[in-house]
Amino acid sequence: MEILAFGVQADEKPLIEKAFAGHHDVRCLDVFLTEDTAAIATGYEAVSTSVNADLGARVLRTLAAGGTKLIAQRSTGFNNIDLDVAAQLGLTVARVSYYSPYSVAEFAWTLAMAVNRRIVRASNRTRDFDFRLDGLMGRDLRGRTVGVLGTGKIGEGFTRIAHGFGMNLLGWDVAENPACVELGMKYVEKEQLLAESDLVSLHVPLLPATRRVIDAAALRMMKDDAILVNSSRGGLIDTEALVSELRAGRFAGVGLDVYEAEAGLFFLDKSLEVVEDDTLARLVTFPNVVVTSHQAYYTVDAVGQIVDTTVQNVLDYAAGRRSENVLVPAES
């Protein structure tokens, strides 16, 4: 069986080819799966997709009509997949239910420290041999309060680092994580967490209940000099509301590795094009904002685990086995 892999990054390609060697042939494409590219998969029983692939109803129907039977997504999140339509079409859909949580947790802290200590501005200055310290003052984090929205594996990893900094720990989730409680985390309502935290970091999945969990009202609850970090999903934040608050001079820093409308932008070179997204264009102009392109997971450790799990998902499908990674067909 030959697998067609969409949206493969240059660093990722050798890992995928090596992992599939001796099992199945794989063809790697750097283009992303969209309505315009779905027809390329005609004749391929299995396709592998990236986190920003369009797996809505129309794309799924095109894939199914072309003979595709398996979709193996190389990510944990699956909010981009219409699972109901996939089930109706008889497609098998699998994801990567687990990979290194440290990659994302550590990167979230990288963003937090970058905006707190003005690293990007400082680096840009020194490139021009400007060694002034004006405007670069940050804050000690020891003794301050961090609010963690979502305390699963990644949130727990983030909390452990916060504990190492000596911070007060507040958490919000549908269920308490005993490991976080052991570290001293106090679980509170979201409103209290936002009001009391000096640093807020988002680690919840994007679900109907969490979409824009940080909306205009939530942003107004936060301290004027708080730091906000999102390394989970862009749809957790109402970006236009965030821009409005930033224009009013609020927040010491905002670190974003994800963006609401990142599909069609992130992972691509748009440097020679006019980007028509006015919200994103405005967002990146703020001196206290750092935006990266969904790279928190992008370590050799995490990507290696993602690729290995994807290969195993294909092998399980070929052998008629089912694992916890299978989303469709659902358990009866």
Catalytic site positions: 233, 262, 294
Cα gap 270→255, rounded to integer Å: 21
d(CA 223, CA 34): 40
Distances (CA, A) of 102 to 76, 111, 154, 180, 320: 14, 14, 7, 15, 32
CB 45 within 8 Å of CB 22: no
Neighbour count for residue 46 (Cβ, 10 Å): 23
b/e string for 66-98 if b means 16 or more Cβ within 10 A? Answer: bebbbbbbbbbbbbbbbbebbeebebbbbbbee
Amino acid letter, residue 248: A
- The total number of residues shown for the chain amounts to 332
Which of 305, 320, 314, 307 lies closest to 8, judged by CA? Answer: 307
Amino acid at 159: T
| DSSP strands (E only) in 125-196 | 145-149, 168-172, 186-187
230 contacts 257 by C-beta, under 8 angstroms? yes
CA-based R_g, the chain, Å = 21
Which residues does 119 contact at the CB level (< 8 Å), separation at least 6? Answer: 113
